[in-house]
Structure formats: C-alpha cells, structure tokens
Amino acid sequence: MYVCLCNGVSDKKIRQAVRQFHPQSFQQLRKFVLIGNQCGKCVRAAREIMQEELMQL
C-alpha cells in the first residue's frame, strides 16, 4: 500500500528502512526514505507505521 503518494513510497519500504536503520525519530527516518517532503499528508500514517515497526524490533 502506498503511504506517500508524492514520492511513491509504500508501507513496506518504510518498514524495511525502520528495521534496517533503527531510526530514533521521524526526522531520522526521513534521511533514509524520501517521505513527507511535499504535501505532507503522509506524515501521520508514516509515523504510525514507524512506531508500529519499532515496537516489534
């Protein structure tokens, strides 16, 4: 499922980046995945996915 339509980023890609890089914040995650830099509509959903994935690490 696409989370960030502006950049064509899926939830799978976000989850992979979280597992690989263990970001401490959403800002950090954004260094690894191009999300939320245009309309910003995806930010909330992307944060939730990041939190969800971090809890499973």
Residues that bind ligand FES in the complex, under the rule CB under 6 A? 4-7, 35-42
Comparison of 44 and 57: residue with beta carbon closer to ligand FES: 44
3-class state of residue 53 by DSSP: helix
Looking at residue 2, the DSSP 8-state letter turns out to be E
Instruction: Name which of 2 and 21 has its Cβ closer to ligand FES.
Output: 2
Q: Closest distance between ligand FES and the C-beta of residue 25, in Å?
A: 17
Closest CB 26 distance from ligand FES, rounded Å: 12
Chain length of the chain: 57
Q: How many other C-beta atoms are found inside a 10 Å radius of the C-beta of residue 49? A: 22
